[in-house]
Chains A and B, each alone.
Chain A
Amino acid sequence: MNPIAGTDIALLAVLGALLALDQDAGLGLQLSQPLVAGALAGLLLGRFEAGVAGGALIQMIWIVTQPVGGARIPDLALGGVCAVAALPSGATLGTWLQNDELAVAGVLGVLAAFGGGALLRLQRRIQSRLASRATKGALRGETGAVAALQRDAIVLHLLRGGASTALVAVLAPVAAAWALELGLRLPVGGAGLGLASVALLRATPRLRLPWLLLGALLGVVLGVA
Chain B
Amino acid sequence: MERPPLAVFWRTCMLDASWHPERMQGGGYLYALLPALARAEDPAAATRHHTVTFGTNIYVAPAVIGAVAQLELQGERGAATRVRDWLAAPLSGAADLFYWGALRPALMASALVGVVFGSPALAVAAAWLLFNITATWGRWRCFRRGVAASARLLQERERVRPPRSWIVPLHRIVLIAAVALPVLAIVRARFAAASLLDMGLALGVGYYAARRQVSPGIAFLVLVALGVLMQRLELPTGWNR
Contact = CB atoms under 8 A, between A and B. Distances in A.
Interface of A: 21, 24-31, 33, 35-36, 39, 48-49, 52, 56, 59-70, 74, 79, 93, 97-98, 100, 103, 106-107, 110, 113-114, 124-125, 127-128, 130-132, 134-135, 138-143, 146-147, 149-150, 152-154, 157, 184, 186-208, 211-212, 214-216, 218-220, 222-225
Interface string B214-240: 011101110110011001000000110
A63 B48 contact: no
B224 A188 contact: yes
A123 to B, nearest CB: 9
Contacts, number: 331
The 10 tightest CB contacts between A and B, nearest first, are A194-B202, A223-B187, A141-B44, A219-B183, A215-B179, A26-B16, A198-B206, A200-B178, A190-B199, A215-B176
Contacts of A203: 101, 105, 171, 174
B5 to A, nearest CB: 14
Interface stretch (B66-74, B80-88, B118-126, B146-154): B118-126
B34 A147 contact: yes
Contacts of B239: 186-187
A28 B188 contact: no
Interface string B12-37: 11111111111111111011001001
Nearest to B45: A141
B27 A131 contact: yes
A143 B100 CA distance: 33
A110 B209 CA distance: 16
Interface string B165-204: 0000001101111111111111111001011111111110
Interface residues of B, number: 103
User: Which label, helix, strand, loop or mixed, suits the secondary structure of the B interface?
Assistant: helix
A191 B237 CA distance: 13
Q: Which of A24, A139, A191, A211 has the most CB of B within 10 A?
A: A191
B192 A98 contact: yes
B74 to A, nearest CB: 20
A142 B238 CA distance: 65
B203 to A, nearest CB: 5
A153 B27 CA distance: 10
A124 B16 contact: no
Contacts of B200: 194
B94 interface: no
